[in-house]
Amino acid sequence: MRFSNSFLDEIRDRVPISDVIGKRVTWDRKKTNASRGDYWACCPFHGEKSPSFHCEDRKGRYHCFGCGVSGDHFRFLTDLDGMAFPEAVQQIADLAGVAMPQPDVEAEKRDRQRTGLQDVMEMATQFFEAQLQTAGGARARAYLRDRGLTGRTIETFRLGYAPESRNALKEHLAAKGVPKDQIEACGLVVHGPDIPVSYDRFRDRIMFPILSSREKVIAFGGRAMSPDAPAKYLNSNETELFHKGNVLYNFARARKAMSRAGRVGNAAQNENAAGTIIAVEGYMDVIALHQAGIENAVAPLGTALTENQMALLWKLTQQPVLCFDGDSAGIRAANRAVDLALPHLKPGFSVRFAMLPDGKDPDDLVRHEGRAPFDKVLASARSLSEMVWLREAQAGNFDTPEQRAQLEATLKQVVSVIADENVRRHYGQDVRDRLNQFFQGASRQQNGQRNFDRNQRHGTSRNGGQGRGAPNGPRTSERSGISDRLARSSLVSGHQALPPLRESVLALTIVNHPQLLFEEYDEISAIDYDNRDLQRFWSSVLNAAAAKGPRLSREILVEQLEAEGFGELLKSLDQQIRFARLWTATTAAAPEDAREGYIQALSLHKRTKALLWQRRELESELAYATEEGDDDAVSQILRNLQEVQLEVTRLENQEAIIDGFGVLSGRVKGPAGK
């Protein structure tokens, strides 16, 4: 009897492979990690004294590093016990509590058809790969090169190019004997009763093959080369092979990467990178992260994450990280993911949320600065419970008892959707704890403000132990407002080291002269700060600019920044700038001087960033050339590296001569009026 792949997959998924193998071996206690579904034993297929036989529940596979045997549930039973395959299927089905299927002629026919369609998809993949290397694929190759992809990465992900033709792929497949109905069933052509002649679905697009969990090509994503194309990205339509909501891009490779990390112990060394699965938004994000050494990333296929895709993530790890852009669209997507995950939480199973700097995606971060900034984003990922709290508590003001009661009722309603009773109970306790702390802080703030107002009315002074700095007055953490207690605690408790001087100039000049932001908004808003405090600070500046537009004044901006907990940072930046005598960044500068000083600082910042990126690329090329033994290339790269390093050093030294460079027209004076 022939069994459908869907039936075999179902019973495999229901029964951990360790349950099957554990009946025949004794797991080694030292090497086994049952909580991760990772098991080791002495191999039952050959005699050995130290355990080299490994099985992994997440993957549903076993492998012996001694004798080389490997397989799945069924292979273990057929090879070790000599069972016939149908008998092994029967035993696994019994363990899964699933009835054996009755012979289904139609199902067997569909299974054979599915295998044939996979062969056609493989032929299409090879065609697209070949087209990328032709003269017609030159623009596509240039685009991939400009995006920083190496030849090795392009080969790994089997990227290709669909030529600008209505029938190139169709004719290629037909010439190889592929029947018309199979080409249509694969979704490779657009066809229908109202279309006299079918035509290629993908034309003039960079092609991204989409693999199944068994590493078979089941669909494509295509990125348009023409800016006039109606859809920038186009996916295959739903077919017998492909159901978009059930597939994650790069799932099979990410699963392998996690398996390798578990074997060599990388997960313990770098939990954020290797010990989990990371869901990002697009194909290029996944590929750029892979090239940067982060190989355990996946992506939904151009749509919001689905329940089935979430279930796939939980098959790989108990705590996947969902990574979203830090803009408003990314925040909305994160909130949708919160609502998607909550009902399905189980003990030990949840998600974390990594929010990128506003205007940045993973591809941007790692392409220009390597993986370090992305690792920082992962390290600061928030728990699901924290995301729920921030979403609801930042949604409004809660100054009155009625508003606070509304917040409490909303949070209780959100938590009530969790199906697991134990998890729901603990979320309820977490909500109560946060509400108590939040309302107590708000009460202290109001009391402190009343004391402050009373002291101000009595005219008491700082030296007398009263007034703004008095013990009875509001503490810094109380004056900074509700949003500070929610999300800015790191700013109140202590800053990082002062930012690089040029970053401070760029940030403070805009605060003191916000009209500059609107003169070149696209360029200025995209500035990427290395300092984490400035990243948060800049996000708040841009939010204020979006809310007020060109009407934004320095007074309004400073008031909002102080309310969000950035008062101390503003003081530190101002002191740093004044100590360095960079008067063009201060309020004393005339608009023309502020603009000129800002342009110079921005030019220095961009040039330094570009050189650092160039240095990283050369270092990567040097490692590859050394590995290949290409001495001539090594010598040339070393010379280029030396030139770049000299320029980096020159620019770093040039920061010192920014001192006073804004005193252009005599309208800016130093502290002594000089």
Q: Select the CATH number that applies to the domain covering 105-242 from these four: 3.40.50.300, 3.90.980.10, 3.40.1710.10, 3.20.20.70.
A: 3.90.980.10
Query: CB neighbours (10 Å) of residue 548?
Result: 14
The confidence score (pLDDT) of residue 472 equals 34
Beta-sheet pairing, 189-192 with 195-200: antiparallel
315-332 per-residue burial string, b: 16 or more CB within 10 A, e: under 16? bbbbbbbbbbbbbeebbe
- Cα maximum dimension of the chain: 96
Write out the two tokens for 473: 């007055």
Write out the two tokens for 36: 């991760």
The confidence score (pLDDT) of residue 530 equals 80
Task: Give the tens place of pLDDT for each residue, 204-244.
Answer: 999 999 999 888 999 999 999 998 888 899 999 999 899 99
d(CA 80, CA 283): 42
CB 211 within 8 A of CB 219: no
* CATH homologous superfamily for the domain 5-96: Zinc finger, CHC2-typedomain (3.90.580.10)
Parts of the chain with a pLDDT under 50: 263-272, 452, 456, 459-496, 656-674
The confidence score (pLDDT) of residue 270 equals 40
Check: CATH 3.40.50.10490 for 251-391? no
50: number of CA atoms within 13 Å, CB side?
3
Task: Give the tens place of pLDDT for each residue, 293-319.
Answer: 999 999 998 778 999 999 889 888 889
CB 17 within 8 A of CB 60: yes
Query: CB neighbours (10 Å) of residue 254?
Result: 26
CB 605 within 8 A of CB 527: yes
d(CA 248, CA 92): 27
- Sequence-distant (6+) residues with CB within 8 A of 185 are 113, 117, 239, 240
CB 537 within 8 A of CB 569: yes
The confidence score (pLDDT) of residue 438 equals 83
Beta-sheet pairing, 205-211 with 217-224: antiparallel
Eight-class DSSP state of 164: S
Give 273's strand partners. Answer: none
CB 529 within 8 A of CB 499: yes
The confidence score (pLDDT) of residue 271 equals 42
The confidence score (pLDDT) of residue 500 equals 81
Single pTM value for the model: 0.57
Residues of the chain by 3-state class (helix, strand, coil), percent to 5: 60, 10, 30
Give 33's strand partners. Answer: 38
- Sequence-distant (6+) residues with CB within 8 A of 195 are none
Write out the two tokens for 19: 């349950």
CB 190 within 8 A of CB 199: yes
The confidence score (pLDDT) of residue 105 equals 63
d(CA 169, CA 207): 13
d(CA 347, CA 351): 12
Give 54's strand partners. Answer: 40, 63
- Would you list the domain boundaries of the chain? 5-96, 105-242, 251-391, 501-658
